Each structure stands twice: as structure tokens, then as C-alpha cells.
Structure 1
Amino acid sequence: MISRAQRYSHLALRVLIGIRFARRRGRIILVLRALWLLYQSEESRVENPPFRLSRGVISQSDDSHTVTDTTTDKNSRPLHPPNPPSDKHLGLSQRKMSVMKWWLSTFLALIACLQLARGLSDTENARTTSKFPDLYEASVLELQAGLDAGHFTSVDLVKAYFARIEEVNLKGPALRAVIEVNPSALAQAAALDKERKKSGKRSLMHGIPILLKDNIATIASEGMNTTAGSFSLLGSVVPEDAGVIKRLRKAGAVLLGKANLSEWAHFRGRVASGWSGRGGQGTNAYFKNADPCGSSSGSGVAASIGLAAVTLGSETDGSITCPTGNNNLAGIKPTVGLTSRAGVIPISEHQDTIGPMTRSMTDAAIVLSVIAGKDPNDNYTLAQPDILPDYIKALKKNALKGARIGVPRTGFTSNNFINVAFTEALETIKGLGATIVDPADLPSALEIARSDNETVVLNVDFKVQLNAWFESLISNPSGVRSLADLIAFNDANPTLEKPTNFTDQSQLIQSEATTGRNTSFFQSLAFNVELGATRGIDAALRENNLDALVLPARGLTTTPAAIAGYPIVTVPLGFFPDNVAIGSAGPLTVYPAPGVPFGLSFLGTAFSEFDLIGYAFAYEQKTKTRLARKAIPEAIPKTQLKDIVGKA
């Protein structure tokens, strides 16, 4: 016979097992109750309490038990095996009640065992699956948890993302989001896996695969090209990594590949968003041939369906904000100078900026915390605050409480469906504790809409800076060494660089015709700052005592912030309904279209990213709009980590 102590141990073990396997099925109360009855059935076989233990006394009251240590004698005798209850000590009715109680307790205990068996089977399957987050939505924190727990490795992640790219990039829906994958990615991942085991992770980005817009330079030994989508730069050798790449490498990120983009960051001419000579016509994953927006089109499409953990884009005017909205993402267009542009194929040093495009504001904050900072190769970064905030700490659900948020109306128009969703968003923001000031117009809004000063500045900057880029290359097999050479190259290679949708390169030609940074240029530059900042965003904030502005992401929204050099933070707002009339975005793409997403943007003054991230996060967490609709089924890759882990 087993001792009472052994029975207690067995019962305790069964309780722990029940808790372990019943938790995820909601059976914990039933299991604990049944196991307690099993305990009672065991105790019904011994004499009535109080029970004498070798190390204590259990004293009973009506509905509670307390344990008191009364043993001081080290030589206390161990408990003898109990004797079964003797019927001769009980009356007839008591004996019947005892037998009924014992059988009832035993029956309920058996039910508990069956529940445990079912729970074991069901929850083991769920537990196995939960080791591998769904890569369609997987966050950086989920991936880090799996990597830390050893459920999978960074090598597994790279293999999984490579397989997902293979499924939908050129095959199936042919989204053309990725220009090339990194042949060194698996080796990078293996080295980072080894480092994780030996000394832990460097940062939250350790071992996390990131896809880069194809205007962000990586050294030739990496095995990838940096071309802005143009064959004129295929095989060119850059002198060093871009500034943001140096920071990503230091943080332990895995460089997964290069994303497609609107060629030359949409500064070529009449070319549809998402088209490049090297990458072809990229399209949105939410409707066949829908406009992905650009110029960071591939980064947007890839992030939207989990072709990478996170992606990087660049913006001169709208190139992060618009594809973030069109692809159901969270994105940050930082203040000019918060992130380095060194080593990024330029349009304009006055407006270019690099930022994250991700599936959540949390992931965007994590990436921004890595890539933000000063760089001696980019003088604009030297103007940023000496100490930058930890953007992850901005992620608070109550961030909008007490904030004053303004709504510019004059000069800003949008689609009726977007307007309805925007009105609902304002109510949500108000419900989160913010004061909505509506309208809160930019005094310069109509002047911005009519002004061509931005075009003047960008045309001049592009020629000056692109010529400098070509000159900085260690080598370039195409022989192109200037903007004039580029225009000639495109004319000489129509099969490579003359798209079927549009055939001109008018923007390149206009830029080539400029005569440098003369008086007219500096006047336009100064007027841009006045319109966008002094009499624009800053004036609206100051005159209405505001913390931020809010607008739908698409349209004129991006231009005031672009010419001011100010930040925009964007999160999902909604989706076009199934009955929306399909419009044209060019011969090869459509917009609007059923199910295509659109975004909500928070704007602020210089280096106000921390506050904007908080506002966007609070709205995102309240609405969870991204989860309301997925991409079309054929655009969603099937490969998951469970298909990779443990396979050769």
C-alpha cells in the first residue's frame, strides 16, 4: 500500500499536469474541482480529521483549511499507512452516504481524467503550432521570442522568407515586390545564430531579416546590387554601406534582399508607381493589378504579406507614407536628418529621409530606434538632438489622452469612402481622450497646392546629387557617369528601359536642363521652408495650440511635411468596399479597387516622432484595422516556419 504522503504527491502532480494541459482549453476550474473531489475520495478511505502529519496539523473549519507546523521533534515517526474506514463505526445511513460520496467522487475524478486526455491532445497540437508565429503577421517581438526559446533559428527564418518570396514574386500573382535576394543572407543568419547561443542577442533586431529598398547601398561583397531599379547601375560597386545599413549590421539584422521600387524613386517621368526596368511592374496584394503606390512600392507589398519581417523605404514626398497606406501597414517618414541618407541614391538632400515600413507600430518603433542617429557622412544628422528618445517607450495605449489634434481642411480633399472612414477615425481619437480641433488649417495650404517651388528644388538637387553618386562609384559596367549619360543609356536600351505603360523620361530631362544651385534655386528652397514649416505645419500647431495634425495618408497630405522636412507617422485607416468603382492608375494598374487599403497619418513639427508614434500606436491598438481584411488568397504565401524547421 502507498503512504498518504505518496498519495498527496501523486495528487499534487496530477493537479500540476491538469493545469499544464487544461489552461489553453478553459478547463482549469473543472480539472481542479474534479481533482479535489478525487482527493476527497482518497481521504474518505481514512479516519475522520484532524489528520496527524509528520510535519504539521491540518485543522478543519466549515469551508477553509489552514496548515500549522507543530513538529519540533526531529525523531517524529513517519505516518503509518491508513486503515480503510470500518463500517462497524458507522450507522446504516452514514455507511450509505459514505459509499455514495466515494462513488460520486470517483466518477467525477474519471471525468477529469478524460478531460485531461482531451486537453492533452488538443493543446499539444496548439502548443506545437504556437511555437511558429504566422509569418503573414509575425512581429519582431514574436520572432525574437521564438529565436530565444530555440523553436527556430534565423537560418530557418531566412529560408522561410526566401520560400515565400519564391511563391508570389514572379510566380502566381507575380507581385514583383523583390528585385533580388541576398546570396549572403543564410551565412549572415548562421553567424548570428551562433553568436546568439554564445553571448546572447545584440538588440531586438538580432537575427531578424529585413528587406531594403533598392536605392539603399550595400557593399559589393554582400552580393547584391544597388540600382534604384535601373539597368544603368547593374553591377556597379559602391564604396561603402549606407549609414542605415551600418547601424542595422551593428544591431545584428539579417539583410534579406532588395525591394522593387518606382525607378529612380519615382523621379524618372511618366512611369506608373511600382515600375522599374529591373523589377518590372509591382502590384498590390489586396486586388489584382492594384496600385501599390510608391516609390517604396516593393517595400510596402513585401511587408504587407510577410515576405520579410520588416522593410525599409525612403521618402522625398509621399514615398513611405503612400505605400504604407495602400498596403495596410504602419510606417514612419522621419524628420530629415533623423536617419542618415549617406549611401542612399539621392533625389534631394533637403527632403530625402529613410524610414521603416512594417505590419505594426511596435515594429516600426523598434526599427527606427536602430536606424536613427548621427552620421558624420550626413551633415543633416548633426542637427538632431544629442540624445534621442527610446521610441519603443512611446508605445502607450493612452498616448492620445489629453492631446490636442488638429484637422486641416482647406486644400485637402479625398475619396468619399476615405472621408467616411476618416470621420469615424476622428470619433475614435476623441474617444481615446484627445481634443479634436476641426478645422485647424495650414495658412499656406492653397499656396502649397499652387506652388512649383518643390519641383524647382528637386530638379536641381537631383542633377547635382545624382552626378555626384555616379562619380563616387568604384566602378560601373554600363559606363554611365552622369545624368546625361543615363538619359542616353535609356534611349539606347529601349528593351530594358522603355516600359510598355509609359515611354518618356521627362523628369530626368527636366533635371538635366537645370543650371545648378543658383539664386532662383535658393529662393525656391527658402519659400518651401516658409510654406511647409513657418506658415504651414508650425503655424497650424501654434495658432491652435495643437500637439499634432491628422489626415488621410493619400493626397496633398505629404507635401507640407516634405518641403518642411517634418515627420509623418501612418497606420491603417480602412479598405475600399467591394462595390467601389474600379479606377485607373495607368495602363497596367488600377486605383481605387475593392479591398485596397488606405491609411491615416499623424503630422508634427521637427523631431516630434516620439509623440506621433504614441498617437498612432494608441489609434492602431484601439481599432486593429490591419486585421480586418487580408490580401487576396492567391497573393498570400503558404510557406510557414513549420514547413522549414527540421527540414534539410
Structure 2
Amino acid sequence: MRIAALPFVALALAAPLSAQRAESDARTYLDRIAAIDDAGPQLNAVIAVNPDAPHEAAEAEAQGLPLAGRTVLVKDNIETRELPTTAGSLALANNMTGRDAPLIARMREAGGVVLGKTNLSEWANIRDTNSTSGWSAVGGLTRNPHAIDRNTCGSSSGSGAAVAANLTWAAIGTETDGSITCPASVNGIVGFKPTVGLVSRTHVVPISHSQDTAGPMARSVADAALLLNAIAGSDPADSATADTDSRLTDFTAGLATASLAGVRIGVLVNAIGNRTDVRKVFEVALADLRLAGAEIVEIDAKEPEGMGAAEFTVLLYELHTDMAAYLATLPGEDTPRDLADLIAFNLENANSELRWFGQSLFEAALETEDEGTYREARAKSLRLAGEEGIDRLLEQYDVEVLVAPTRGPAWTSDLLNGDNYNGSIGAGSLAAIAGYPHLTVPMGAVERLPVGISFMGGKWADHRMLQLGAAYERARTVAIPEPSLRRWSPDG
């Protein structure tokens, strides 16, 4: 039986929860998932739910832990012990490892509850160049709750849509290049890609150990910071986290009082893009920053030449090697063990897996084996994005943070023709390739479709980016639209 859609009612969960509140909220979220994700507008943001979440939430709340039983939806490329981890592919439909990724174990220890797993762009959008973001063979096409015929971006599509539609307190996404920040922006929520190494990647289906990271997605900067507190930390199995424990702090500290007064903010003018409507929204955001006391510094800098090509080589090589290393850890005799196995599975199941787009990137990665070329590309991409990119701009213009629009508004989803986003907007690849923090915060809307503003800083400047984002969030003068759960219409 289809359940009528519930009205959009935000739950005030930033403050500590009251007695029995966590259990009640978990049940409300499960009911809402049934009503508008499985039925009603059928957002397809959630692949699977944990029916024990209300009981677990009550237990966590009773223990007085920091997250106090708050519910979290987890992108389905991150292992949780109670649910399969599929990466959206039928090849891993039965991938029940019984393991928690260390970041999930940390979250549970802090009192967080796994509410379920979210849909994603299959294989985190690294299978083909003509993909449609938000589609997976396991979960179907995720719909944007602000306009259900519009795209959710990717690859953390379900996480972004679920948070926007109030299906959970918060969610965890992963990013290699844009996969947290883009879905957060087009779904009108906060998304934070931390410094690579702040959060463990063990038992997370990989693309690239150089750039992969998990991060929080929430309806406020404070909630994102609270979740980051729970998932950040060193992991002996992930060498990128070796120095992380020495970098840990209370990421929520100072958010409520952070000031923009006297803060020099570098505006990446070439990343504003060619849409006048996005520019107008961004100019209002800059006016809000100025009114709050910030000093705006225009920076005329283009993306470093050759950075993207070098990154592409890195991603293909590391996909080849890292995927095989991950698949080797999975249980089961019939489990795919390398990229060649995945390609073969897709060919054998072409009607389900290859109906809408192919696997050209998988095939290219299989042929990318020259370690020397890879190492040169990694050194080049890291230098151009880091030392000669973000680091140079921060120092040369004496600014604390770089800002730009994150992305344009959501485009119409089209399985037949693939994605159609405006590539002139945003500069998130700099932070992604360098491995530096990138926060996106809603800044307004274009014809009721949300757009976000990006805050990018140097390595380990995670806390500062959150503080500046929270200060902007308070200074913002425009209203952020609530999801309509309807198709987009020019008449509203």
C-alpha cells in the first residue's frame, strides 16, 4: 500500500535530545522514508533501512553519548555490519561483510545510529563518461526533493536528497572530486569534504587513495561539525590518517560565535561561471559577507593547465589497483576480485547494468598500468592544486579562505543522454586534488532550485572552514527554499 506523503517538518535536532526523543525521531524518519522515498514521489534516496534503529537510538540516548541516538544515513559504498554494501552495483548486491568501517564504528561509539544506506551514482560515478548522476542498478534514479524531475548530482546523491527531504538527522557521503559538495549544493544542504586523512577510508569502496574521503552532510554547519567530531580519527590501516589524532579538536567549538569581521576572503572570479542568475545569487552572498565585516579580495586565477589531465591519470591508475585491493578483502566464493571481474559481470548483465551507459572508464582504468607515468601525474596534480594552487593563492593574496559558487542549479535528469551540468561554475577540483577541506553552504536559489557557496582552505584548516561557514550561515539574508516534492515548473 502506498503511504501518503508527509508534510515537510524540520526536526530540531541540533540541541541535546530529550528523554525518549531519539527513539521517536528514528521512528518518524523511518515512516517518512516509507511515505516519500518508497512511495509518494519516490525519491529513491534510500536503498535499505535498519529496522532496529529506534531501539538502538533509545539505547544510545540513555548512555548520554555525544550524538545521543541521532540517526545517520550512510552512503552505500561504506560498510556497516547490519546491511550489504553494494556501491550501487548488482555485482555486490549480496556483499554482506558483517564489518563496520572504522568511521562507522567511531560514529556508533559516539552514540550515532545507522538508519540505513543511501543510493549513489553507481561505483561513485567512475564507470563511464556518459553516466547519469544519482542512478545505480541497485537503487534506480535518485530524485531531487526540490524538483523531482531534476538531478541530485553525485555521487553522494542519496545522502544529499535524504538530508534535504528530512529523511534523517544527517548523512555520510564520500568524495573523490565533487561527490559531497555538488549533491549538497543542488539539494540545498551543507556538505563538508574534510582534509584527506581526517577520516579513515578503510572498508570504503575506493576510487583513489590520493583523493577519497568520507564527510558529513547535514542541514546546518553545526550538525555537520557534530557528525565530523564522531567520525574523524586515526586508523592504523589507513596511512593517510597517521597524523590525524594530533589534528583533532572539537569541530563544533566557536561555531555559534565565529565572526567574519576583518576576515580577508578571496573570491575566485573565474569560477563564478557564465550564468547571470547564479552570479546574482553569489553577489548577494558576497554582500552578506561584507555586511558581516569581511574584506572581499577578487582573485583572477584560472585552473592550472594540465591539472585535470594529471588527475585523470591518477584516478584511473588508483581505481585499478585500489579496487582490486578492496575486493580481495570481501567474503564469498563468487565475489568479484578485480576490475576485470566487474567489467565481465557488467557485460553478462548488460540489460540491467549497461542499459543507460557503458563502462568506458572501467575499461580505461584496466589498461592504466604504468607506475612511472602514474607517479609523475600524481606529483604534478598535487603540486598544481596544492603548492601552486590553493597554497599560493592564499599566500599571494593574503586571504584566509577561497570562495566561489559550488555549482549551478540542478539540471533535468536524463538517463538516455546523461548529465548536463554547467562545468564553468565552481573550483572544487582544486581542493579535491590537493586533499584540502571544502565546505559548501546553501546561499540561495535560482528559480527555487538551490545553489551553494564554497569555502576552501589549506590543509588541516577544517575547523576554520566550518567556523567561517557557520558565520556566513548566520549572516545570510536570503531564504533557502524548502523541498516541494513536485516536478519543477516555471510557474512555481
TM-score (norm 2): 0.90
Deviations 1:158-203 (A, max 9, x none): 221111001111322111100111143244234335xx1xxx4111
Question: Do the aligned partners of 1:398 and 1:432 also contact (CA within 8 Å) in 2?
Answer: no
1:113-512 correspondence runs (5 A): 136-142=9-15, 144-145=16-17, 148=18, 150=19, 152-193=20-61, 196=62, 200-203=63-66, 205-219=67-81, 222=82, 224-238=83-97, 240-269=99-128, 270-384=130-244, 386-410=246-270, 413-438=273-298, 440-442=299-301, 445-447=303-305, 451-475=308-332, 477=334, 479-499=335-355, 502-512=356-366
Relative distance call for 1:249 and 1:135 in structure 2 (3 A) is farther
Relative distance call for 1:342 and 1:155 in structure 2 (3 A) is same
Question: C-alpha separation between the residues in 1 aligned to 2:477 and 2:238?
Answer: 37
1:530-549 correspondence runs (5 A): 530-549=383-402
Question: Do the aligned partners of 2:146 and 2:486 also contact (CA within 8 Å) in 1?
Answer: no
Question: C-alpha separation between the residues in 2 aligned to 1:139 and 1:493?
Answer: 45
Relative distance call for 1:524 and 1:412 in structure 2 (3 A) is farther
What amino acid sits opposite 1:570 in the alignment?
T
What amino acid sits opposite 1:447 in the alignment?
E
Question: Do the aligned partners of 1:262 and 1:274 also contact (CA within 8 Å) in 2?
Answer: yes
Question: C-alpha separation between the residues in 2 aligned to 1:613 and 1:343?
Answer: 27
Alignment partner for residue 433 of structure 2, among 552, 558, 563?
563
Structure 2, unmatched stretches of 5+, are 1-6, 408-424, 488-492
Once the 2 structures are TM-superposed, how far is the Cα of residue 288 of structure 1 from its aligned partner?
A: 2.7
Question: C-alpha separation between the residues in 2 aligned to 1:410 and 1:187?
Answer: 50
Question: C-alpha separation between the residues in 1 aligned to 2:190 and 2:95?
Answer: 33
Deviations 1:462-486 (A, max 9, x none): 1101111111012265x42211111
Question: C-alpha separation between the residues in 2 aligned to 1:476 and 1:401?
Answer: 60
- Aligned-pair RMSD on alpha carbons? 1.9
Matching residue of 2:450: 597
Question: Do the aligned partners of 1:170 and 1:176 also contact (CA within 8 Å) in 2?
Answer: yes
Deviations 1:115-159 (A, max 9, x none): xxxxxxxxxxxxxxxxxxx974224334x33xx3x3x44332222
Question: C-alpha separation between the residues in 1 aligned to 2:272 and 2:446?
Answer: 19
Q: Percent identity?
A: 37
Deviations 1:82-128 (A, max 9, x none): xxxxxxxxxxxxxxxxxxxxxxxxxxxxxxxxxxxxxxxxxxxxxxx
Once the 2 structures are TM-superposed, how far is the Cα of residue 608 of structure 1 from its aligned partner?
A: 0.5
Question: C-alpha separation between the residues in 1 aligned to 2:365 and 2:384?
Answer: 23
Matching residue of 1:614: 467
Once the 2 structures are TM-superposed, how far is the Cα of residue 394 of structure 1 from its aligned partner?
A: 3.2
Question: Do the aligned partners of 1:177 and 1:298 also contact (CA within 8 Å) in 2?
Answer: yes
Once the 2 structures are TM-superposed, how far is the Cα of residue 352 of structure 1 from its aligned partner?
A: 0.5
Matching residue of 2:418: none
Question: C-alpha separation between the residues in 2 aligned to 1:392 and 1:322?
Answer: 23
* Partner secondary structure for residue 340 of structure 1: coil
Question: Do the aligned partners of 1:211 and 1:312 also contact (CA within 8 Å) in 2?
Answer: yes
* Partner secondary structure for residue 38 of structure 2: coil
Deviations 1:493-547 (A, max 9, x none): 1232124xx321111111111115x110000000011110111010000001110
Question: C-alpha separation between the residues in 1 aligned to 2:60 and 2:54?
Answer: 10
Relative distance call for 1:136 and 1:608 in structure 2 (3 A) is farther
Once the 2 structures are TM-superposed, how far is the Cα of residue 354 of structure 1 from its aligned partner?
A: 0.8
Deviations 1:525-570 (A, max 9, x none): 0001111011101000000111001100023411111110011011
Deviations 1:596-646 (A, max 9, x none): 111001000001111111111111112264x532111559xxxxxxxxxxx
Larger-Rg structure = 1
Relative distance call for 1:414 and 1:317 in structure 2 (3 A) is farther
Question: C-alpha separation between the residues in 2 aligned to 1:599 and 1:448?
Answer: 27
Question: C-alpha separation between the residues in 1 aligned to 2:126 and 2:358?
Answer: 12
Which structure has more RCO (C-alpha within 8 Å, separation ≥ 6)?
2
Question: C-alpha separation between the residues in 2 aligned to 1:349 and 1:633?
Answer: 37
> Does residue 385 of structure 2 align to residue 527 of structure 1?
no
Question: C-alpha separation between the residues in 2 aligned to 1:298 and 1:237?
Answer: 20
Question: Do the aligned partners of 1:332 and 1:355 also contact (CA within 8 Å) in 2?
Answer: yes
Question: C-alpha separation between the residues in 1 aligned to 2:143 and 2:10?
Answer: 20
